Amino acid sequence: MNAAEAIVQCLKSEDVSHVFCVPGESYLPILDALFSEQTIQLISARHEGGAAFMAEGYAKASKKVGVVMATRGVGATNAAIGIHTARQDSTPMVVLLGQVARAFRGREGFQEIDVEACFRPLAKWAAEIDDAQRLPELLTRAFRIAQTGRPGPVVVALPEDVLHEQVDQVTFSKTIVPKPAPNEEDIQRIEQLLQSARRPVVIAGGGIIWSKANDDLRLFAEKWSLPVMSSFRRHDVFPNDHPLYVGHLGLGTQRAIIETVEQADVVLAIGTRLSEVTTQDYKLLSTQKLIHIDIDYDVIGVTYSPHIGVVSDAKEALSRLLNIQLHPSWTAWVQERRGAYERVSSLSSMKRNVNEEIIHILQHLLPSEAIITNDAGNFASWLHSFFQFQQHTYIGPTSGAMGYGLPAAIGAKLANPHRSVVSLSGDGGFMMTIQELETAVRYNIPIISVVFNNQMYGTIRMYQELRYPKRVIGTDLGDISFASIARCFGADSMRVETGEQFSSAFTTALQNNKPTVIEVMTDPNVLSPFLTIEQARGGKQ
């Protein structure tokens, strides 16, 4: 077989069922090899950034490696936003990039970039395969690196002439992801520290989700009445309606929720890198005793030096922690903190704006197994503040990448064709990848896109008004009819202004089984659930 055919065989061995791309001349041999492969569906997107977001969303929804292909420098750099997102989200992804022929390297050939130098700061690993005989070794290594330890994106550059060369017959085997476990001494030390606690709290992150340890976490929390908080944009790590759930550590988190961590004396952080947002600008865990469990040695101690640091798969750790013995004295405190969470996360019967109405409607109309993806933007603060997530129902970028929601929804729907998938975007973010709506139409991928249109970059406008009141520059946007654009793409669409109109449109969209856009006209004066332009200009934080 030639090198391109070997690449496809490697994809098959890793159970890859979907590959996302914008086609390019530099890797035509791979496209040709995929033509004859019935087990892998190629999804051709409208932009490499959209394709990379699709692969990243697919990986999160399927718990498999996302695969994206792009051509040389121009395609590669377009895909960079998805690579950065996968890195910050710890999402396993393999990026196959076409490259100029070896004889042209170093001459600033057509669309040439130094792939390894360009992507080394963004990816978990970057390599260029300049010898066809080493392709099986290096590509297998790429899939292993992407999935083991802290997962992440791996970039592989493929010189065009290498793809035509013959390789020795080789048999690929699927990567087996190792699952390190804590030893008995680790468990005993954790048990002793938790036994000394008066107000312990668990901060659960994406490592729980990737190791499929959600049920283990719930059983562990229930056994010892431990309160659980979710790290940034990991809402679905623990059922939000559970009496032990006490909040999400994200952007704009209500003071009452932050106080739960401030009052805690012992924090058990599992499967989280304790990012800037989760720790509220690295200020939140300065006084508590910290137990940090993560699958990656390099994560532990980066932001805070733990009292106990354990390198372990989250599921392996939790299964062993189920056997420790505690004597909970904190039940009343947990009930108090749950009450504090409920007070700030419950919508009143009288909704103050259409944003609140929509979250209320989504809560009641969405099937329990539905998946929500979202862009970055102020519109998401209503979702994060008030929506009650269940397990395995949320996909969002911790990198804060705009344009993520729609393409990620496409990837999630392909991974879970029998589950409803809804993306939420602002008008700023939606316009950045709106072309991928045509991709959804062309492949008949029935996602629902809810677009909150306030004709401005809302998040930046909020900070602009807080820091430079009335000095508005660069944040206003034009009056775009996204419903009209969607119809031109061949999707269903509706433009609504009230909760009643949205409820009717959303019910129809759930039944139509077609790509659908629901454009929601929102009040530009309402910057967040807790702040208006007038309040910002008046100095309210």
Q: What is the pLDDT of residues 70-105, one digit of tens each?
A: 999 899 999 999 999 999 999 999 999 998 777 777
User: Looking at residue 184, what is its pLDDT?
Assistant: 95
User: Looking at residue 426, what is its pLDDT?
Assistant: 95
**Model confidence pLDDT, tens digit, residues 157-182:** 999 899 999 998 788 889 999 999 99
Give the span between the Cα atoms of 441 and 389, in whole angstroms.
28
Name, in order, each residue with C-beta under 8 angstroms of 468's C-beta and a sequence gap of 6 or more. Answer: none
pTM confidence score: 0.94
The CATH number of residue 283's host domain is 3.40.50.1220
In a shared domain, residues 359 and 280: no
In a shared domain, residues 334 and 353: no
| Pairing between β-strand 153-159 and β-strand 308-311 as defined by DSSP bridges | unpaired
Q: Which domain holds residue 127?
A: 3-164
Nearest to 420 by CA among 513, 486, 357, 487: 513
Q: How confident is the model at residue 540 (pLDDT cuts 50, 70, 90)?
A: low
Q: Which two tokens stand for residue 56?
A: 């990243």
**Domain end among 295, 320, 344:** 344
Question: Which residue has better confidence, 537 or 362?
Answer: 362
**Percent of the chain predicted with pLDDT > 90:** 85
Give the span between the Cα atoms of 243 and 15, in whole angstroms.
39
**Domain end among 344, 361, 385:** 344
Residue 524, Cβ density class (10 Å: 0-12 exposed, 13-18 middle, ≥19 buried): middle
Average pLDDT over residues 116-130: 93
Average pLDDT over residues 228-245: 96
User: Looking at residue 349, what is its pLDDT?
Assistant: 80
In a shared domain, residues 326 and 364: no
User: Looking at residue 485, what is its pLDDT?
Assistant: 96
In a shared domain, residues 203 and 131: no
Give the span between the Cα atoms of 489 and 193, in whole angstroms.
58
Tell me: pLDDT of 51 over 90.
Answer: yes
Contact 220, 203 (CB under 8 A): no
The CATH number of residue 507's host domain is 3.40.50.970
User: Looking at residue 520, what is its pLDDT?
Assistant: 97
Question: Which residue has better confidence, 386 or 103?
Answer: 386
Average pLDDT over residues 366-395: 91
The kind and range of the H/E element at 492 are strand 492-496
Q: How confident is the model at residue 541 (pLDDT cuts 50, 70, 90)?
A: low
- Tokens 């009335």 sit on residue: 470
Give the span between the Cα atoms of 158 and 76, in whole angstroms.
12
User: Looking at residue 369, what is its pLDDT?
Assistant: 92
**Model confidence pLDDT, tens digit, residues 481-506:** 999 999 999 999 999 999 999 999 99
Give the span between the Cα atoms of 130 and 352, in whole angstroms.
61
Strand partners, 230: 204, 248
Name, in order, each residue with C-beta under 8 angstroms of 178's C-beta and a sequence gap of 6 or more. Answer: 148
How far is CA 197 from each of CA 62, 326, 417, rounded to the nearest angstrom? Answer: 38, 10, 45
DSSP track, 96-120: EEEE--GGGTTTT-TT---HHHHHT
User: What's the structural domain count of the chain?
Assistant: 3
In a shared domain, residues 363 and 331: no
Contact 266, 289 (CB under 8 A): yes
- Tokens 């952080």 sit on residue: 269
Whether 177 is in a domain gets the answer no
Whether 150 is in a domain gets the answer yes
Mean pLDDT score of the chain: 94
Average pLDDT over residues 55-74: 96
Total Cβ atoms within 10 A of residue 328: 14
**Model confidence pLDDT, tens digit, residues 307-332:** 999 999 999 999 999 999 999 999 99
Average pLDDT over residues 211-218: 95
Backbone angles phi, psi at 22, to 5 degrees: -115, 120
**Domain end among 344, 377, 408:** 344
Average pLDDT over residues 11-22: 96
Q: Which two tokens stand for residue 431?
A: 């316009």
Whether 176 is in a domain gets the answer no
User: Looking at residue 144, what is its pLDDT?
Assistant: 97
Contact 207, 92 (CB under 8 A): no
In a shared domain, residues 148 and 215: no
In a shared domain, residues 431 and 374: yes
Q: Which two tokens stand for residue 35?
A: 């033509």
C-alpha of 416 from chain center: 16
**Percent of the chain predicted with pLDDT > 70:** 100
In a shared domain, residues 382 and 313: no
Least confident of 213-217, 492-496, 527-531: 527-531
